[in-house]
Amino acid sequence: MLQVRGINQFYNQSHILWDLDLQLGEGACGCLLGRNGVGKTTLLKCIMGLLPIRDGQILFKGRDISRLSTEHRARGGIGYVPQGREIFPLLTVEENLKISLGARADRARQIPPLIYELFPVLREMKHRRGGDLSGGQQQQLAIGRALVLDPSLLILDEPTEGIQPNVVRDISDVIRRLNSELGLTVLLVEQKLPFARRTADEFFIMERGRAVAGGPMDQLDDQLIQQYLTV
Ligand SMILES: Nc1ncnc2c1ncn2[C@@H]1O[C@H](COP(=O)(O)OP(=O)(O)OP(=O)(O)O)[C@@H](O)[C@H]1O
Which atom of ligand 1 is nearest the CA belonging to 12?
4
Q: How far apart are CA 76 and CA 65, in angstroms?
A: 9
pLDDT digits (tens, 9 = 90+) for 177-216: 999 999 999 999 998 999 999 999 999 999 999 999 999 9
What angle do the packed helices 135-147 and 165-180 form, to 10 degrees?
20
pLDDT digits (tens, 9 = 90+) for 31-67: 999 999 999 999 999 999 999 999 999 999 999 999 9
Q: Which of 14, 191, 228 to mutate to test the pocket of ligand 1 (most atoms within 8 A of CB)?
A: 14
Q: Please give the sequence-ordered ranges of beta strands (E in DSSP) within the chain, or none if there are none.
A: 2-11, 14-24, 29-33, 55-60, 63-64, 78-81, 153-157, 185-189, 202-207, 210-216
Residue 226 phi, psi dihedral angles, 5° rounding: -60, -45
pLDDT digits (tens, 9 = 90+) for 57-79: 999 999 999 999 999 999 999 99
pLDDT digits (tens, 9 = 90+) for 98-127: 988 877 777 778 889 999 999 999 999 999
39 lines ligand 1 (CB under 6 A): yes
CATH code where residue 12 lies? 3.40.50.300
ipTM score: 0.94
- Structural domain total, the chain: 1
55-60/29-33 β-pairing: unpaired
Query: What pTM value is reported for the model?
Result: 0.94
- The pLDDT score that the predictor gives to residue 162 is 86
38 lines ligand 1 (CB under 6 A): yes
- Percentage of the chain with pLDDT > 90? 87
- The pLDDT score that the predictor gives to residue 130 is 95
Instruction: Determine how many CB atoms are found less than 10 A away from the CB of residue 183.
Output: 10
- The pLDDT score that the predictor gives to residue 21 is 97
- How many CA atoms, within 13 angstroms, populate the side-chain half-sphere of residue 229? 20
Q: Which of 10, 12, 42 to mutate to test the pocket of ligand 1 (most atoms within 8 A of CB)?
A: 42
Q: How far apart are CA 214 and CA 168, in angstroms?
A: 24
Using CA positions, which residue lies closest to atom 1 of ligand 1?
11
Domain housing 72: 2-229
183 Ramachandran zone, left/alpha/beta (phi>0; psi -120 to 50): left
Closest CA to 182 of 122, 112, 125, 94: 112
Using CA positions, which residue lies closest to atom 24 of ligand 1?
36
210-216/202-207 β-pairing: antiparallel
Q: What is the largest CA-CA distance in the chain?
A: 51
Q: How far apart are CA 101 and CA 21, in angstroms?
A: 32
In the predicted structure, residue 165 carries a pLDDT above the cut 90: no
Which residue type occupies 106? D
What spacing in Å lies between the alpha carbon of 150 and ligand 1's midpoint?
A: 29
Assign 218 to helix, strand or coil. helix
Q: Count each helix (H run) and each strand (E run) in the chain, helices first.
A: 9, 10
